[in-house]
Amino acid sequence: MKKVIMSGNEAIARGAYEAGCHIASGYPGTPSTEILENFAKYEGVYAEWAPNEKVGFEVAAGASIGGARTLTTMKHVGLNVAADPLFTIAYEGVNGGFVVVTADDPGMHSSQNEQDNRYYAPHAKVAMLEPSDSQECLYYMKAAYEISEKFDTLVLFRVTTRICHSKSVIKLGEKESVSVRPYEKNVKKYIMIPAHSKAKHYEVEERLEALRKFSNNTSLNGVEMGNSKIGIITSGISYQYAKEVLGDNASYLKIGMSYPLPDEMIREFAAKVEKLYIIEENDPYLETAIKAMGIACVGKEIIPICDELNPDILRKAILGEVNNIAYTTDIQAPSRPPVLCPGCPHRGIFYEVSKYKDIIASGDIGCYTLGMVAPLSVTDTVICMGASISAGTGIERANMVSNRHDKKVFSFIGDSTFFHSGVTGLINAVYNHTPIVICILDNRITGMTGHQENPGTGKTLQKNLAPMIDIEKLVLACGIKAENIRVVDPYKLGETKNAVKQAHDSTEPFVIITKQPCALIKDVLKARAGIKCVIDEEKCKKCKACLKVGCPAIKFQNGVVTIDATMCNGCGVCLQVCPFKAIEKVGE
């Protein structure tokens, strides 16, 4: 067998391919994004980006009902969006094998919360697997499809950031030749009216008992006996940390199938060790279940519930030792708070809005969340994907019922997020005559997760040409009046300023659409290569007006304003802000 180095995400994609998965649909979200990007590269498969996780889940569920082996992927908060079909498909079951990848983010490297999605499995009553390295990502995916079809259940495949992005050696296998199963009409199985659901619930409980017996006998769960004074029950990346710290000085029950839990194995293992520790990141999922079995163990008393674990944390918690081995360097990396990139097209509209002090800005999930950062300091609140318009409507309604008329509500949302779950919020604002301003920032890509295609880019995940959804026409179709729509180039501050003023003064729902591609798109980088903005020091009065646009390429040091030529891409926003015309564009 050929050996290669793969990240967990690459290995998940490979495992799905080797398992004969036919169809995959999902929505990009760190740390899960690269799974579908890699799966799409294999021959003989179909992969797509859906507008949101719920749609991706439902596409995969429908394909499973149609007899295909299917996959849907999303980050942890994405499963909240897809929770509705998750709970129903848990009752309906599958035809072709169906695997749902949820990628959790302990430490919140790129997320708004640290929720532990392991609880979805017992809540929905479906099987759950948790790999601990890239090889297991591949192997467990193949096992997941077998479990799905054997037990007529979807399988929740739970990974975390370190599993997704860490790389290790794996052995490649051959692709299974799996035919699409025939579809047979079965309304009692696939239509969950109450009468059918009641019968299905009994089947679900019987299935869980069969899965529990399977969990107690599968090689996905395994015991490694070493020193019996210390027993460790763990799963996922926590197993790797525990092994690094304790090695052969402890015994391990490594749980790969974490729902239903292998209760008999747990009891037998606990009886063999003197002191039992439960090592897991975030919530006490394993610990709570094990203590409910009447088994004495130590867990969150010493293991932190917040943030990621690491070997040093475990070493101190279990052994009371502090690792004094440190690697230092004479040069310290400078701190780099997140900011909008140089040349970001979102900067222009945030700059113009920042001039108003009577605005409440409802933000959303994406690069434009960074409108909160000084000196722009525009955004007031961010909840979740697509919430900016709905929340903005709520803020305006609170203003109206309290007779507060001194604040104007602006909602900011990106193109991909608008397609994801912003359209319904816009319809709500129109339907209920809520006079907010909706700013749709169209940068022609799904930016923050790494430039994935979306319904507005004209291409699919597999790079096929596709219809390009016209946001302006969509907004018109939702009921916004033509006179209340402005489409602007955010690099042109004059027209952006006028649009913001008209929107601010409007007494009806108003939409501003900014259209300019992300500055980091490869074609954009090529087109702007060599174009820079430079400062004429003789004309510069050091008024610092250019600093107010918040571009990281502009610096004020030692009493001098400079533009870093290695960062600037000549967007020209600073040029328009300078009152003394001390900035000019070169290289065009």
List pLDDT tens digits, range 430-487: 999 999 999 999 999 999 899 999 999 999 999 999 999 999 999 999 999 999 999 9
User: pLDDT tens-digit profile of 481-527?
Assistant: 999 999 999 999 999 999 999 999 999 999 999 999 999 999 999 99
Domain ranges within the chain, ordered by starting residue: 3-215, 221-319, 346-524, 528-586
Quote the pLDDT of residue 335.
77
| Band of residue 189 on the pLDDT scale cut at 50, 70, 90 | very high
**pLDDT score recorded for residue 334:** 78
- Return the pLDDT at 338: 85
- Top CATH class of 528-586 equals alpha beta
The reply to whether domains 3-215 and 221-319 share a CATH topology is yes
Query: Does the pLDDT value for residue 381 go beyond 80?
Result: yes
Is cis: bond before 375, omega within 30 of 0? yes
What is the reported pLDDT for 561?
95
Q: Decide if 122 contacts 247 (C-beta within 8 A).
A: no
Element (H, E) at 395: helix 387-401
Nearest residue to 106 via CA among 313, 387, 335, 321: 313
* Distance of alpha carbon 80 from alpha carbon 224, whole angstroms: 36
Residue 11 has pLDDT above 90, yes or no: yes
Q: What is the pLDDT of residue 322?
A: 85
Cβ neighbours, 10 Å, residue 574: 27
- Write out the H or E segment, with its range, that includes residue 259: strand 257-259
- Do the Cβ atoms of 32 and 103 come closer than 8 Å? yes
48/286 Cα distance (integer angstroms): 35
Check if the beta carbon of residue 527 is closer than 8 Å to that of residue 453: no
Task: For residue range 29-46, list pLDDT tens digits in order.
Answer: 999 999 999 999 999 999
Strands 408-414 and 359-363, by their bridges, are parallel
What pLDDT does 103 receive?
Answer: 98
Per-residue pLDDT at 354:
97
Sequential DSSP letters for 280-301: -SSS-HHHHHHHHTT---B-TT
* Single-letter code of the amino acid located at 245: V
pLDDT tens digit string along 164-188?
Answer: 999 999 999 999 999 999 999 999 9
Sort strands 510-515 and 359-363 into parallel, antiparallel or unpaired: unpaired
- Cα dihedral angle (119, 452, 19, 120), rounded to 10 degrees? 10
What's the pLDDT score for residue 333? 78
Vertex 237: Cα angle to 232 and 239 (nearest 5):
20
Average pLDDT of the chain, as a whole number = 96
How many whole angstroms separate alpha carbon 422 and alpha carbon 200? 35
3-state secondary structure of 155: strand
Q: Which amino acid does the sequence have at 470?
A: D
CATH number belonging to the domain at 221-319, selected among 3.40.50.920, 1.10.4160.10, 2.40.50.140, 1.10.286.10: 3.40.50.920
CA distances from 367 to 65, 252, 445, 540 (A): 37, 43, 11, 31
Rounded to 5 degrees, φ, ψ at 112 are: -90, -5
pLDDT of residue 325: 66
Q: Kindly list the distances between the CA atom of residue 78 and the CA atoms of 10, 124, 364, 438, in Å, as whole numbers in the listed order.
A: 20, 16, 15, 23
- CATH assignment of 346-524? 3.40.50.970
Residue-wise pLDDT for 382-402, tens only, equals 999 999 999 999 999 999 999
- pLDDT at position 23: 98
Query: What are residue 127's DSSP bridge partners?
Result: 155
213-219 long-range contacts (CB < 8 A, ≥24 apart) are: 214/147, 214/151, 214/257, 215/257, 215/260, 215/261, 215/262, 215/265, 216/262, 216/263, 216/264, 216/265, 218/143, 218/256, 218/257, 218/262
End-to-end CA distance of the chain: 54
Contacts 24+ apart (CB under 8 A), 387-390: 387/362, 387/421, 387/425, 388/362, 388/363, 388/364, 388/412, 388/413, 388/417, 388/422, 388/425, 389/362, 389/413, 389/422, 389/425, 389/426, 389/428, 389/429, 389/436, 389/438, 390/424, 390/425, 390/428
Q: What angle do CA 118, 418, 98 make, to 5 degrees?
A: 35
3-215 fold: Rossmann fold (3.40.50)
Per residue in 549-558, pLDDT tens?
Answer: 999 999 999 9
pLDDT higher than threshold 90 for residue 568: yes
Q: Are strands 532-535 and 583-586 parallel, antiparallel or unpaired?
A: antiparallel
Q: Which residues have C-beta within 8 Å of that of residue 527, sequence separation ≥ 6?
A: none
Angle between helix 194-215 and helix 134-151 axes, rounded to 10 deg: 130
- Give me the half-sphere count of Cα atoms (radius 13 Å) on the Cβ side of residue 542: 7
For the stretch 54-108, pLDDT in tens is 999 999 999 999 999 999 999 999 999 999 999 999 999 999 999 999 999 999 9
pTM more than 0.75: yes
Q: What is the per-residue pLDDT for 176?
A: 94
Other beta carbons within 10 Å of 289 = 18
Give the residue among 123, 36, 26, 128 at the shortest CA–CA distance from 78: 26
